[in-house]
Amino acid sequence: MKVKYVVLSCAVGLMLCAAAVSWFSYRRQAETLARLGGQRAEIGTGESGPGGGNDSQEQAGRLGESYRAEEKKDGETDTEGRVQETESGAPETQTPKDYIKWVDFDITVQALEDAYRQDVDSYGSGQHVSWIELLAYLATKYGGDFSKYKTKDMQDLVQALTDSGQTMAAYAQGRQYYSYYLEAYTAVLGGLVGEYEIEVPAEGNPEATHWEKKYGLRAFSPVAKGYEYSDYDDFGVARSYGYRRQHLGHDMMGQTGTPIIAIESGYVEAIGWNQYGGWRIGIRSFDKKRYYYYAHLRQNFPFNKSLKEGSIVTAGDVIGYMGHTGYSAEENVNNIDETHLHWGLQLIFDESQKEGNNEIWVDCYALTRFLSRNRCATKKNMETKEYYRIYEMRIPETESDGVDLAE
């Protein structure tokens, strides 16, 4: 891969100049650029290493415009004020591909729960409503701002949709940005609800289990059942290790050794040490849209020992253990004060967004609260000291679609 280096401060300076020049002719775009110029110097990576949030791209992204940030910032491989520009950092002359550049995910936990309830309750009926479609429709009503959400709006929408006898695709025809929100929210929520099979204990005899087919939430809280944690909405707050940057994930404070659970099924894309995240594991969803990042895992025994790059995990599997490693270039060092899990959710519409300047990390606080209804029970193997889920689960994607790990 061709790599060249650009000094961050020059890039920011150019940004400001560009913003000033285009102020009158492209007033709105210039506003976005100027905001970027002012803010981007402070925005770096999440604890995930390279990349960072582009929350100031909100406006452009919300409208689905083909907007590209030109400035560069620090990557984890180079912390001396230089940054890497890869071929994916597209020069201006290259026509940008048409894919979503930014997503604000601010759907409240109440809206998630209401939509989910409508989806599950209508499953198998003549008019199954998809929770993602409901949320996308309401987003067009709120201009993407779910602080305006009311349960009654959801009920009214479902009623109107039912009365119309139409599919949501037909009902939403002509709603501006419906397709944008549908694609954006499908990227965030697409794998969480669906069909699955799970082992169920027999009544009165938990040792005897049988398999049951179900439909509903098949994703889990990242913290195993029975383990306490505390958290608050900490997305976007400042972090200072290495350089100033935003917190692009969610912290769950708990006890060292707490089993960490795979939220969604997928395959291990990264496992090992990262100077920000410490012992960390990255799991990619089968549809490749989501990258789940779990960081600061336990010193000495961070991961389920069977896992390696390419391993398939099922939602609910124990993937590792809570700890406080990280913030150190040296491996296996506890340099985080408080034991916690940091988890992040990255969206990938185009592979060029995976690492670099155009990463999209979404706020996963409401999602964490929503997922807390589904916590996975685990048990310890006394010999290996490893924890395992008690009840196995299967999802159709693992069996039929499979994964081309050679990709």
Rg (CA), the chain: 22
Helix, strand or coil, per DSSP, at residue 30: helix
As to burial, measured by CB atoms within 10 angstroms (0-12 exposed, 13-18 middle, 19+ buried), residue 209 is: middle
Sign, CA dihedral 191-98-270-280, equals: negative
| Residue 342 engages Zn ion in binding (rule: CB under 5 A) | yes
Candidate ranges 175-183, 217-225, 334-342, 395-403; the one touching Zn ion (CB under 5 A):
334-342
Min separation Cβ 299 and Zn ion, Å: 17
Query: In angstroms, rounded to a whole number, what is the distance separating the alpha carbons of residues 92 and 76?
Result: 25
CB-based contacts of 75, cutoff 8 Å, min separation 6: 45, 49, 50, 51, 83, 84, 355, 356
Minimum Å gap between C-beta 45 and Zn ion is 11
Cα–Cα distance between 288 and 195 in angstroms, integer?
Answer: 19
Least separation in angstroms between CB 92 and Zn ion:
34
Q: Which stretch binds Zn ion (CB under 5 A): 73-81, 337-345, 362-370, 391-399?
A: 337-345
List % helix, strand, coil for the chain (3-state, nearest 5): 30, 25, 50
Count of residues interacting with Zn ion (CB under 5 A): 3
Q: How far is the CB of 362 from Zn ion (least distance, A)?
A: 14
Q: Is 324 in the site for Zn ion (CB under 5 A)?
A: no
Taking the complex as a whole, how short is the minimal distance between the CB of residue 72 and Zn ion, in angstroms?
24
Output the residue with the shortest Cβ distance to Zn ion: 342
Q: Is 73 in the site for Zn ion (CB under 5 A)?
A: no
Q: Could you say which of 76, 251, 317, 355 contacts Zn ion (CB under 5 A)?
A: 251
Q: Which stretch binds Zn ion (CB under 5 A): 11-19, 88-96, 245-253, 377-385?
A: 245-253
Could you tell me which residues are beta bridge partners of residue 239?
245
- Return d(Cα 62, Cα 52) in angstroms, integer: 18
Q: How far is the CB of 249 from Zn ion (least distance, A)?
A: 5
Which span sits near Zn ion by CB under 5 A: 27-35, 153-161, 304-312, 342-350? 342-350
Which positions touch Zn ion (CB under 5 A)?
A: 249, 251, 342
